[in-house]
Chain A
Amino acid sequence: MTSKPLKAVGEEVWKTKIDKVNAELVALTYGSLVAQLCRDFENNYDRVNEQLDKMGYNIGLRLIEDFLARSGIGRCSSFKDTAEVISKVGFKMFLNVVPRVSNWSADGKTFSLYIDDNPLADFVELPPQSENLWYSNIYCGVLRGALEMTQMQVHAEFVSDVLQGHAATEIKVQLLQILKDEIPAAEE
C-alpha cells in the first residue's frame, strides 16, 4: 500500500495519469442510452435498472485493469480500506468526484456511498411515473464487476437518488463473500 494519503493519490492519478474527455459528452451519451433503454423496454424500469446493472458489470470487469495499472494501488487489507480506495481513488480517477463513505454496518460488511455531485445526472429530469428508475444504476454494476475481479463478491444497490427528489444519492454496498480465483464471464 502507498504511504501517501489516498485522497492525494486519487488527485495525482487524476491529474497526471488519466486521459480525459468532456464530462458533458459522457453525461449526454449516458443519458441517450438510458432514454433508449426506457423506450426499448417500454418504460419497464425494473428491466432498465437490470440492463444498466449488467452493462455496468461488463464495464467494471474491464475498468478494474485500468484502475490497477494507473493507480498503482495494491491489495486492500480490509473492506474498510476497499471502500476508501473506491471513493478517493476509483471514483476520483474515473469521474473526478469523491463520494462520501459512511453508514458502516456493525459487522463492517456494508457501507454507503453518498454521491453529492453526480456527473451523469446533469440536466436530467426524470419522466413522470418513473419512481422505480435508478437512473445511475450503471454505478452499481461497475462496482460489482470491478470488485469481483479483485475477489470480492458484493451486492450494490441504490437506496436513494436526488433525481427522484430524495435528499441524497446513496448506494449501499454489501460484501457477500470473498471469492477464490476465477475469471467471471461478461453478462449478456
Chain B
Amino acid sequence: MAEFVAVISKSGEPLYFHSSSDTKRVRHEFLALMALDAFEARDYGDCGLLLVHSNIAVYGFKTHTGVKIAFAIDASTIASPSDVSKSLKILNRAYSGVSCNPFYVPPDKIHSAKFQGVVDSVMNYWN
C-alpha cells in the first residue's frame, strides 16, 4: 500500500506532496520532514530506506542537483527491493521531465499533469 510521494528542494522546501489519504496527510508530512535528516547524510542517487516510523517505510532518491524525492509505503507491505528501486527511478525520471519543461523554473512548486500521472501509476501499482 503506497502512502505518499514528496519532492523537496535542495534547501528543504516542499515542491510536491501527494498523500494516499487526507486523514493521514499530516502524519505523512511529518514523516517527510523526518526523512530530510536521513537524506542529509546520504550521497546522490538511490538512497534506499531512509526510515521506518508509525508502520510506514520511507525510501528516498537524491538527484544530483540536490532535490530529494521521498516515496513511502506501508511497512508491512512485502516490498521487493527491485520494485522499490524501480519506483524511485521512475519518480526521478518524472522529476527530470518536470525540470526539463522550459516553463518550470526551480524551485517552483510542481503542478505538472504528467508528473501527477506518473505518481498515480506508481501508487496504484503498490495498492
Residue of A nearest to B100 (CB): A123
Q: Which of B101, B102, B104, B114 has the most CB of A within 10 A?
A: B102
Residue with the greatest number of chain B CB neighbours at <10 A, chosen from A122, A123, A127: A123
Number of A residues, CB within 8 Å of B? 14
Count of CB-CB pairs between chains A and B under 8 Å: 29
Is residue B103 contacting chain A, with contact meaning CB distance below 8 A?
yes
Interface majority SS on B: helix, strand, loop or mixed? loop
Flag A93-131 by CB within 8 Å of B: 1 or 0 each: 000000000000000000000000000001111111000
Q: State which of A30, A122, A127 has its C-beta within 8 Å of the C-beta of B103.
A: A127
Q: Which residues of chain B have C-beta atoms less than 8 A from A34's C-beta?
A: 102
**Distance in angstroms between the alpha carbons of A32 and B101 in the assembled complex:** 9
Choice from B102, B111, B114 contacting A35 with Cβ under 8 Å:
B102
Q: Which of A18-41 touch B at CB < 8 Å?
A: 28, 30-32, 34-35, 38
Residue of A nearest to B102 (CB): A31
Which A residues, 126 to 173, have Cβ-Cβ distances below 8 Å to chain B? Answer: 126-128
A125-B100 in contact (CB<8A) = no
Task: For chain B, residues 64 to 111, give those with C-beta under 8 angstroms from any C-beta of chain A.
Answer: 97, 100-104, 111
Nearest opposing residue in chain B for A29, CB measure:
B102
The 8 Å CB contact of B97, one of A32, A38, A123, is A123
Query: Does B112 make an interface contact (CB < 8 A)?
Result: yes
| CB of A129 to closest CB in B, whole Å | 12
Chain B positions within 8 Å of A124 at CB level: 101-103
Please list the 10 inter-chain residue pairs (A to B) with the smallest Cβ-Cβ separation, ordered nearest first.
A31-B102, A123-B100, A35-B102, A127-B103, A125-B101, A123-B101, A125-B112, A123-B97, A32-B102, A35-B103
